[in-house]
Amino acid sequence: MLDKFLEDGYTEAIDLLNGDQIEQVLSACAALPEKFLPWLKGRHSVVPEMVDLGSHPVMVEAVSKLLGEDVLLWSSQIIYQKPQVTHRWHIDVEHSTWDGVTVWLAMQNVTEGSMKLISKSQHLNITPQELGEKYFVDLTDDRQVQHEAQKRNSECKLVHVKVKPGQFIIFDGRLWHGTQNSTPNTRSSMIFQYTRPSNKLFIPLDNNYPGTRWSHLQPDCVLVKGKDDFKLNKIIDRDYSGSWKSKARVMMVHFPQKILRKIIPA
């Protein structure tokens, strides 16, 4: 697993949940609407079931093989993708600033090709967003994006990931990826993102890249393995997640920031 990850930037699919568990986990984790989260990827701050899933021993063991003994969970999200929608090629903006890995967990109505990757693209010194910005590459066009990657490394390949509901893959934070739902039904998946405690993290204010704006606020992190010798981030535990304290913090700290951003957009 480590060799493939280091070389190609992603792992093969790993089993996690069975059919019954997918339904149970999804309904528990989705109980709180998105508007009550501190930020888009902060579901673990207020939904303890999200902490449980992101701390699942199978997931943590696999992630730890790639990141080492000390591992922080900093992001968690449920993604519902509507029929016939394409999410353009990109890297997540946070990984322009710190390294780490993404767990992509297939939940419902996931088919081969729901998740697409360009193998070995984590080592390219340009991102899809920059290709779009500088060279007007159409980031919804697989062939154009693959061509751009292969111009820089002929061994890069477009991969339609083979992953079934209940399985997850792990990919490098710098790996080029995109999703699509070419079926008539909504597709659901989850992401969990991990890094090492030596990185200091902040919440992005937008998805622009390059030129991302950053909040002074930091994401809540869960130490899912090992220890944090650096104390650079705000660490929470399962008891805090969903507590009145966590909800009060969202109301008192994060909501005012969201409102301010709407009034003063840039």
In this complex, which beta carbon is closest to Fe ion, that of residue 48 or of residue 173?
173
In the complex, which residue's CB is closest to Fe ion? 92
C-alpha to C-alpha distance for 40 and 261, rounded to whole angstroms: 15
C-alpha to C-alpha distance for 167 and 203, rounded to whole angstroms: 28
Q: How far is the CB of 71 from Fe ion (least distance, A)?
A: 20
**240 Cβ contact partners less than 8 Å away, ≥ 6 residues apart:** 220, 246
Q: Are 191 and 183 in contact (CB under 8 A)?
A: no
In this complex, which beta carbon is closest to Fe ion, that of residue 8 or of residue 92?
92
Q: How far is the CB of 129 from Fe ion (least distance, A)?
A: 11
C-alpha to C-alpha distance for 59 and 50, rounded to whole angstroms: 13
Q: For 129, phi and psi rounded to 5 degrees? A: -60, -40
C-alpha to C-alpha distance for 139 and 204, rounded to whole angstroms: 21
In this complex, which beta carbon is closest to Fe ion, that of residue 92 or of residue 172?
92
**249 Cβ contact partners less than 8 Å away, ≥ 6 residues apart:** 38, 45
Site string for Fe ion, 191-220 (x = CB under 5 A): ------------------------------
Q: How far is the CB of 148 from Fe ion (least distance, A)?
A: 18
In this complex, which beta carbon is closest to Fe ion, that of residue 49 or of residue 92?
92
The one-letter code for the residue type at 61 is E
Q: Are 188 and 109 in contact (CB under 8 A)?
A: yes
Q: How far is the CB of 87 from Fe ion (least distance, A)?
A: 7
Q: Are 180 and 87 in contact (CB under 8 A)?
A: yes
Compute CA 237 distance to the chain's CA centroid, rounded to the nearest angstrom: 20
Q: Are 158 and 148 in contact (CB under 8 A)?
A: no
Q: How far is the CB of 100 from Fe ion (least distance, A)?
A: 12
In this complex, which beta carbon is closest to Fe ion, that of residue 176 or of residue 246?
176
Site string for Fe ion, 84-123 (x = CB under 5 A): --------x-------------------------------
In this complex, which beta carbon is closest to Fe ion, that of residue 140 or of residue 243?
140
Size of the site for Fe ion (CB under 5 A): 1
Q: How far is the CB of 249 from Fe ion (least distance, A)?
A: 26
In this complex, which beta carbon is closest to Fe ion, that of residue 203 or of residue 236?
203
Q: Does 172 engage in binding with Fe ion (CB under 5 A)?
A: no
Contact residues: Fe ion, CB under 5 A:
92
